[in-house]
Amino acid sequence: IWDTAGQERYRSLAPMYYRNAVAALVVYDVTAPDSVRRAREWMRELKRTSDTIIIALLGNKVDLDDKRAVAKREGEEIAQEENVLFFETSAQSGHNVKEAFHAVAKKILESGYAKQSRAQEPPGSQRVRAGGKKKQEPKGGCCKK
């Protein structure tokens, strides 16, 4: 996960990070209309780099409803035009954050990328399971329990 917080100083470094990306979550601030324009630029940049990348557009800060400047419908329309997933979220409250990540993970699995990725693993490579624990390999020997 790479979070630039929309900072332009990361623009020149960006291709190095997303060159082999399978998915991206592009986040805009529903209280800042200009962030929608920048999010759209990032999505187009990602698509120029990869025609298979899975993108989710997230309108964040929905907990600040009294400061909202970007309507949900606008985000939905952009997502439809760009053919990407769409969620409104709140990092503050956690609203829809898991759902967005789960939807992206589901798309990755549906795309077959996970199987391709495993098939291309070099011999002797190790996998780490979610939660940080290494998968135990069966022990050899004459007696198995």
Residues 126-144 pLDDT 10s: 555 555 555 555 555 566 5
Q: Is 29 helix (H, G, I), strand (E, B) or coil?
A: strand
In a domain, 137, yes or no: no
pTM of the model: 0.74
What is the domain-level CATH number for residue 58?
3.40.50.300
In a domain, 136, yes or no: no
List strands edge to edge, sheet with 85-88.
23-29, 54-60, 85-88
> Which of 19-28, 75-84, 87-96, 107-116 has the lowest average pLDDT?
107-116
Structural domains counted in the chain: 1
Domain that holds residue 57: 8-119
